[in-house]
């Protein structure tokens, strides 16, 4: 009986250590992440709606470890993708939607901006292979 309890404790510790070490979740090769709105090249007002689309996978809250799910991260004016084997940092340029949100309203200064989506797993770590959208460019104009 004591051996069984010890084995369970070791297994739990190993699972916990694996999650903490930054294990990437597997994603289907055909998974697609994209912008519903705005479209590449679009002119938008200073405050505008951004809608996220996802195919072949589902959206889950951060912290929920379920196969073929993740949550959105919006990359704003990022030149290159962050490391794929680490949790995504949270900043004004890397917005987290761990509550399962599939849209947001952004307010950006007038000018050209780039937007890109990256799906993170339950621990905010990109999947393997990464599920990432094409980068789009928008131009923010002042409200009339």
Gap between the Cα atoms of 94 and 104, Å rounded: 13
Q: State the pTM of this model.
A: 0.83
Q: What pLDDT, on the 0 to 100 scale, is given for residue 23?
A: 87
Architecture of domain 2-140: Sandwich (2.60)
Quickly state the pLDDT bin for 22 (edges 50, 70, 90): low
Average pLDDT for 110-123: 97
- Above 50 in pLDDT, residue 115? yes
Residue ranges covered by each domain of the chain: 2-140
Q: What is the mean pLDDT of the chain?
A: 87
- Number of Cβ atoms within 10 Å of the Cβ of 1: 5
């Amino acid at each position: 009986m004591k051996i069984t309890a010890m084995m369970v404790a070791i297994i739990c510790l190993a699972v916990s250590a694996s999650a903490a070490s930054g294990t990437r979740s597997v994603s289907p090769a055909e998974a697609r992440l994209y912008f519903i709105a705005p479209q590449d090249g679009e002119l938008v007002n200073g405050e505008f709606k951004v809608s996220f689309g996802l195919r072949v996978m589902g959206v889950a809250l951060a912290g929920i470890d379920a196969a073929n799910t993740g949550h959105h991260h919006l990359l704003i004016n990022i030149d290159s993708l962050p490391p794929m084997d680490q949790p995504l940092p949270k900043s004004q340029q890397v917005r987290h939607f761990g509550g399962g949100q599939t849209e947001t309203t952004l307010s950006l200064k007038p000018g050209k901006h780039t937007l890109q989506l990256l799906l993170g797993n339950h621990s905010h770590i990109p999947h393997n292979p990464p599920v990432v959208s094409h980068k789009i460019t928008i131009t923010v104009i002042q409200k009339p």
